[in-house]
DNA sequence: GCCAACGTTGGC
DNA sequence: GCCAACGTTGGC
């Protein structure tokens, strides 16, 4: 139901996985998240929710585009890969520890909306992203904030 | 259950 | 590459 759509922000290091990778792939499983708060937010995601795709840890940090949730949270397959960097020894097939949602490419902004530009807008002051020391890689976004960032990205 | 030590994130 | 802030781990 469109009226119940929720909004999120997801961080990724573009050297690892950028908005261009998502555009190429179309859909991706947001696996590798190993933080309980971030996992819980992914479990709250519903198909159709909108996502600000954020590039972190780069010379050009900011919101790079838009994605949408294409599948609700499901067990993260990387937790069972003994040789992978995301292996989780506590996880069993019956009781997975980590979950991930799937996201689909929607739009790439012509220009990244830089972190500094977000900070410069008083209306965005309460965004989780802008809270001092916030490192959450998956976080909720208010509709008003989402709409404003989208407008900034399309300018 | 406390808390110090350690590892990770992410802006600069 | 530095380092502050935060989450997690593990000894007690």
- Report how far residue A119's alpha carbon sits from residue A4's, in angstroms, rounded to the nearest whole number: 28
- Nearest nucleotide from residue A36 CA, by C1' atom: C7
> From the CA of A130, how many Å to the C1' of C6?
15
pTM: 0.93
- Nearest nucleotide from residue A135 CA, by C1' atom: B9
Contact A112, A149 (CB under 8 A): no
**Given this model, what pLDDT does residue A85 score?**
87
**Given this model, what pLDDT does residue A57 score?**
87
> From the CA of A40, how many Å to the C1' of C7?
15
Protein CB footprint (7 Å) on chain C nucleotides: 5-8
Contact A6, A139 (CB under 8 A): no
Contact A14, A64 (CB under 8 A): yes
State which residues of chain A have pLDDT below 70. 1-3
Place of tokens 């739009």: A107
pLDDT tens digits for A106-142? 999 999 999 999 999 999 999 999 998 889 999 999 9
> From the CA of A81, how many Å to the C1' of B3?
33
- Nearest nucleotide from residue A11 CA, by C1' atom: B10
> From the CA of A115, how many Å to the C1' of C2?
20
């Amino acid at each position: 139901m469109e009226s119940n759509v929720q909004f999120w922000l997801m961080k990724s290091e573009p050297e690892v996985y950028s908005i261009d990778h998502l555009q190429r792939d179309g859909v991706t499983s947001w696996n590798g998240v190993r933080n309980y708060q971030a996992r819980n937010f992914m479990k709250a995601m519903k198909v159709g929710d909108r996502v600000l795709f954020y590039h972190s840890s780069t010379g050009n940090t900011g919101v790079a585009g838009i994605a949408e949730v294409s599948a609700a949270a499901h067990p993260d397959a990387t937790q069972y890969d003994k040789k992978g960097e995301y292996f989780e020894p506590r996880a069993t097939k019956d009781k997975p520890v980590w979950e991930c949602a799937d996201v689909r490419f929607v739009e790439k902004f012509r220009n990244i909306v830089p972190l500094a530009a977000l900070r410069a807008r008083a209306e965005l002051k309460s965004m989780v992203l802008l809270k001092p020391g916030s490192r959450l890689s998956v976080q909720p976004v208010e509709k008003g904030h989402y709409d404003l960032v989208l407008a900034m990205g399309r300018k």
